[in-house]
Structure 1
Amino acid sequence: MFPKNAWYVACTPDEIATRPLGRTVCNERLVVFRGPEGKVAALEDWCPHRGAPLSLGAVVDGKLVCGYHGLEMGCDGKTVAMPGQRVRGFAPLRSYPAVERHGYVWVWPGDAAQADAAKLPHLPWADDPAWTFGGGMFHVRCDYRLMIDNLMDLTHEKYVHATSIGQPELDEIVPQSAVEGDTVVTRREIPGVKAPPFWAAAMRGNGLDDSATVDRWQRCRFVPPANVLIDVGVALAGQGGFDAPAAVKTSGIVVDLITPETETSIWYFWGLARNFKPEDAALTAQIREAQSKVFQEDLEMLESQQRNHSAQPERALLSLNTDYGGVQARKVVQRLVEQERAAR
């Protein structure tokens, strides 16, 4: 269903700032917390004493303390102590590789021996002061592949997002897709149009004339296991589109980091990275709010899709030429899943 030998976002740092967090990732029930010196750690969310969720406890001096009877756990999954009891002989819990990077806490739910921080997604904007980022997280009740389909075929913007990022011309230009190893890229260039409301507002925020004719682009890049990074933007018409000088364009990277919770639910970490006016906190908040509204429009459709799929799982889906990117992304995922099964 989903590759497990991969890095997934478990949470944002603020979610574990004051207490441990329980979160399910790829059907694995985890507790994520900060151990000694604030280093992130992840264990099974299960107290070896009576099976209580450790996420209902607290972190004291770098140790995870169960909120039921006070059993203390180390970051390696071994029991450390319990008031008035001898517990060091308890079998250790499973620990999961965890890394804090790019503003997220990542976990590896598969074979820990294969975990390698070098395999984390490349997000260069996250550590570049010329860029800023604003985003959030949604819990969505749908198969993670439905979200990937949604992000790799943006034709739906004309219908689902008619009042924000959609426009009629999206139907008129068929996107071009290509497979580059495990990466799938879908491109759509829309020349000589008026900017839709979201982009018109972003142009104003960037000091550009929002009534001007623009060239618009969407470049969706699927990176396994379930991440989609989309170069988006508009430039004054005839100035080079995606390659136009910064002075005549407004652009960014839509960041979509998808973490399967179960077969029919996900944690969806989203946002926009931009390199224009990175110091403008008010603009960041404005864009975040507008983007949140756009994504909430997707949620109703995706969860309704899932209800249909769950009710009639035997029904096949039809694919059009605009679905090519999503179909190829699914093939990459399926190949990775089959490779893991064959290696067991």
Structure 2
Amino acid sequence: MTTWITDAWYVAGWDAEIDSAPLARTICGVPMVFYRKLDRSVVALRDACPHRLLPLSMGLREGDSLRCKYHGLKLGSDGVAEEMPLKSDAVNRRICAEAYVTHERHRFVWVWIGDRAKADPALIPDLWPCSAEGWTFDGGYYHVACDYRLMIDNLMDLTHETHVHAGSIGQPEILEAPIATRVEGEEVVVERWMPGIDAPPFWRGALKQPGPVDRWQVCRFLKPASVMIDVGVAPVGAGATIESHDQGVRGMVVDFMTPECETTHHYFWGMARNFDIDDPGFTARFKRQQGGVFSEDKEILEAQQRAIAANPDLKLSAYRIDEGGVRARQIIARAIAGAAREGVQP
């Protein structure tokens, strides 16, 4: 049994990553090749020529089609053979590479894993700040050598900020603030409210005024593998609450973890924000800074994965701070078990 949910949308890449040149990326254990047709729509095929299994990502683009670099079998964007290696041979349209459903939304290219008939774009997670008026959004990508669920654990427990990110967004008050965790249907929410504190360096610069602030962190897990973290600060007395907090500066950290295999994943990260939205220089600088923060997580989690492999007789422990990650894992496990009972194959 796999460790990821099938019949779900996963991020395959940023909109800027996928262009006319073939891009190879393994998604949920399946080697895939992605490219854009002349009309800019995205094609996703199994990255294996149906002839001798050479990766199609090594192939040559011809219009909207791909020609295998080994013997020249030409496949259309639907994966169906258009031309045989010997030009004199009749085209056998039963020869094909599996094609996958794709969709673009929120600056991401999504690919459906599972039954094509169930690929409803309405099921794409609602990453609303990434496309909302009055917000701007950008981010990056890391390949991370750990189980994608370890990243979910990390993002649903922001207590680690105090120690892992002490030089940027971490502060002792995070450890002192109470945590509230709840499950809403198939979503998990972890909230932390920090009233009347000094803002850490990044948020002080974003707010552009002195004085104590109220700070919030609201982590929300969405199936199959995304975490949105509502963060920000407002001046004390501005009226911000944990439920409503547009009075100061607000950001939405967007994280999507796409499994590659059991111990590696594709990590797509970014932040949408409602301040300095017309300052592209700030956007570029902040993206670089945020990438540095997430590289600290990458270092920790890859070391954790190596330690898990080196200690097969030990199991992860869960404390109260881990409840959000535990609840998210339970939702993932129930979905996988339900698919298994229905006979769905990855």
- Common fold by TM > 0.5: yes
CA distance in 2, matches of 1:201, 1:67: 52
Partner of 1:279: 278
CA shift, 1:83, in A, is: 5.2
Does residue 335 (structure 1) correspond to residue 334 (structure 2)? The answer is yes
Alignment-derived partner of residue 9 in structure 2? 7
Which residue is 2:83 aligned to? 81
Q: Which residue of structure 2 aligns with residue 323 of structure 1? A: 322
- The two structures have a TM-score, normalised by structure 2, of 0.93
Counterpart-to-counterpart distance in 2, 1:108 and 1:289:
30
Deviations 1:266-288 (A, max 9, x none): 11100110112211111111211
- Residues 1:217 and 2:219 are matched in the alignment: no
Q: Shift in Å at residue 188 of structure 1?
A: 0.2
CA distance, structure 1, for counterparts of residue 126 and residue 93 of structure 2: 41
Instruction: Call closer, same or farther: CA 1:180–1:245 in 2, change over 3 Å.
Output: closer
Unaligned runs of 5+ in 2: none
Check conservation: 1:234, 1:251, Cα contact below 8 A: yes
Match of 1:200 in 2: 204
Post-superposition offset of 1:305? 0.3
SS in structure 2 at match of 1:176 = strand
For 1:113 and 1:313, the matched residues in 2 are separated by 40
**Equivalent residue for 2:168?**
164
Match of 2:69 in 1: 67
The answer to whether structure 1 residue 123 and structure 2 residue 123 are counterparts is: no
Identity %: 48
Contact 2:156–2:324 under 8 Å retained in 1: yes
CA contact 1:174–1:322 (8 Å) conserved in 2: no
Deviations 1:4-43 (A, max 9, x none): 2110000122222130111001101111122352221211
Higher mean alpha-carbon deviation, 79-88 vs 144-153, is at 79-88
Equivalent-residue separation in structure 2 for 1:245 and 1:307 (angstroms): 41
1:268 aligns with 2:272: no
SS in structure 1 of the partner of residue 129 of structure 2: helix
Task: Count matched residues.
Answer: 337
Tell me the distance in 2 between the aligned counterparts of 1:175 and 1:64: 52
- Are the counterparts in 2 of residues 100 and 106 from structure 1 also a CA contact under 8 Å? yes
SS in 2 for 1:108: strand
CA contact (8 A) 1:35 1:59 kept: no
Counterpart-to-counterpart distance in 2, 1:118 and 1:59? 31
Shift of 1:59: 2.5
Matched AA of 1:293:
G
Deviations 1:40-65 (A, max 9, x none): 12111001122110011232211122
Cα distance in structure 2, aligned partners of 1:65 and 1:212:
63
Structure 1 CA distance for aligned equivalents of residues 173 and 130 of structure 2: 32
TM-score (norm 1): 0.94
* Aligned equivalents of 2:67, 2:106: Cα separation in 1: 28
Counterpart in 2 of 1:150?
A: 154
| One-letter amino acid matched to 1:270 | W
**How many angstroms apart in 2 are the aligned matches of 1:292 and 1:142?**
18
RMSD: 1.5
Q: Secondary structure at the match of 2:150?
A: helix
1:134 corresponds in structure 2 to 138
One-letter amino acid of the counterpart of residue 99, structure 1 = H
Mapped to 2, the partners of 1:154 and 1:45 lie a distance apart of 38
Counterpart secondary structure, 1:307: helix
